[in-house]
Copies of this chain bind each other. A is one copy, B any other.
Amino acid sequence: MRMTLAELARRLDAELVGNGAREVDGVCPLDQAGPSQLSFLHNPRYAAEAVASRAGALLVREVGELGEHNLLVTPHPYLAFARALAIFHPVEQPPAGVHPSAVVAWDADIAPSATIGPLVAIGSHSSVGAGSVVGAGTVIGAQVTVGADCLIHPRVVIEDGCSVGDRCILHAGTVIGSDGYGFATVEGLHHKVPQVGAVVVEDDVELGANVCVDRGTLGDTRIGRGTKVDNLVQVAHNVQVGEHCLLVAQVGISGSTTLGHHTVMAGQSGAAGHLSIGAGVQVSAKAAVFKDLPDGAFVSGVPARPHREWMEAAARVARLGGLVDRVAALERRLDEHGRRLAPEPPERS
């Protein structure tokens, strides 16, 4: 696909500065883009690369030093970049219908515009909404609701009774509605606690590959609207993840913990169970949250504490060698003073 900069500016709601008749046919990083490609500058750190770029046009926030280039000026160049990618790489909607190799319960309700791929299994009383695509090998249990315009990649599992909102994206290997990890231990035997709740995935959620979201014990585990979850994340039973959160790869959240909206847990971090973690919280990579956190907290470390405290403690530990030396020097000096003080009293008396 080729498109003039004038047309592209119109579609991206950007202001064109330069030659509107120039055509581009794709998007590339600053250092790889050629004259027929669009590139973008959203981080001022790369300003010099932008100046030097051979790109046919640049998405930028302001004209600045880049007057020599064709520019598409927009307050959000990175969002415009995402939109430009979608323009140059349109996703082909597969043909609607149920593949003959799929096994769909007779009483399942599949929208006529939905696509059910090969070797999919869908259980009784489940529904798949208009425009949704279910990839090959996915298993949807009984009484599951999948909304409209979802993209479910191959080999996802959605267990009985769970629901997925509209415009959700579920990546391959993800499991929604596995049993929560609950046992009543009596005399050394772990008796299973039935997990009779379900999982509710709200609208506009994206779950990465091989993610696990356990069903609730009594009520539902919930992933809030607009939340984006990376690969290999674990969400335990009864967890309530707020709206527009970001859970980066390999995060683990223990049972019954609540996250407010717009909270971010960085890669490989974790949270203990039964915690209340506020809105807009940032948990650093590898950190482990063991206590409730107020809105806007920024924490690091194991156990997690305010990021600044953690940084200071880390710096002090790094300087511990110096402190040890200072204490040893003090001991030597005091020994010396002692030697100078010690003999005197008898002389004076």
Distance of A156 Cα from B141 Cα, bound (Å) = 15
Q: Which A residues, 168 to 221, have Cβ-Cβ distances below 8 Å to chain B?
A: 169, 171-173, 175, 178-179, 181-184, 186, 188-194, 196, 206, 208-210, 212, 214, 218-219
Minimum distance in angstroms from A121 CB to a CB of chain B: 4
Are B340 and A81 touching (Cβ within 8 A)? no
With known contacts A250-B234, A302-B286, A313-B318, A81–B178 Cβ distance under 8 A: no
Residues of B within 8 A of A254 (CB): 248-249, 267
Minimum distance in angstroms from A77 CB to a CB of chain B: 9
Distance of A266 Cα from B246 Cα, bound (Å) = 24
Q: Is A338 at the interface (CB under 8 A from chain B)?
A: yes
Distance of A152 Cα from B154 Cα, bound (Å) = 16
Q: Which A residues, 136 to 155, have Cβ-Cβ distances below 8 Å to chain B?
A: 136-137, 139, 141, 153-155
Give the bracket for the number of chain A residues in contact with chain B.
Answer: 35 or more
Are B232 and A212 touching (Cβ within 8 A)? yes
With known contacts A181-B208, A288-B268, A320-B316, A262–B81 Cβ distance under 8 A: no
A75 to chain B: closest residue by CB:
B186
Q: Is A6 at the interface (CB under 8 A from chain B)?
A: no
Residues of B within 8 A of A331 (CB): 326, 330
Distance of A163 Cα from B241 Cα, bound (Å) = 36
A249 to chain B: closest residue by CB:
B234
Contact of A252 among B226, B268, B327 (CB under 8 A): B268
Distance of A254 Cα from B214 Cα, bound (Å) = 25
Distance of A326 Cα from B323 Cα, bound (Å) = 11
Q: Is A52 at the interface (CB under 8 A from chain B)?
A: no
Are B183 and A76 touching (Cβ within 8 A)? no
Are A82 and B184 touching (Cβ within 8 A)? yes
Q: Is A312 at the interface (CB under 8 A from chain B)?
A: yes
Q: Is A285 at the interface (CB under 8 A from chain B)?
A: yes
Residues of B within 8 A of A27 (CB): 218
Q: Is A19 at the interface (CB under 8 A from chain B)?
A: no
Distance of A249 Cα from B175 Cα, bound (Å) = 14
Minimum distance in angstroms from A274 CB to a CB of chain B: 11
Q: Is A21 at the interface (CB under 8 A from chain B)?
A: no
Minimum distance in angstroms from A129 CB to a CB of chain B: 19
Q: Which A residues, 23 to 40, have Cβ-Cβ distances below 8 Å to chain B?
A: 27-29, 32
Contact of A218 among B28, B232, B303 (CB under 8 A): B28
Residues of B within 8 A of A267 (CB): 234, 252, 254, 270, 272
Are B231 and A181 touching (Cβ within 8 A)? yes
Q: Is A118 at the interface (CB under 8 A from chain B)?
A: yes
Are A29 and B218 touching (Cβ within 8 A)? yes
Are B119 and A181 touching (Cβ within 8 A)? no
Are B153 and A155 touching (Cβ within 8 A)? no
Minimum distance in angstroms from A126 CB to a CB of chain B: 12
Minimum distance in angstroms from A93 CB to a CB of chain B: 14
Distance of A228 Cα from B185 Cα, bound (Å) = 11
Distance of A321 Cα from B175 Cα, bound (Å) = 46
Most interface-central of A85, A173, A214, A321 (chain B CB within 10 A)? A173
Residues of B within 8 A of A175 (CB): 155, 171-173, 209-210, 231
**6 closest A-B pairs by CB:** A178-B209, A121-B136, A139-B154, A103-B118, A79-B184, A212-B231
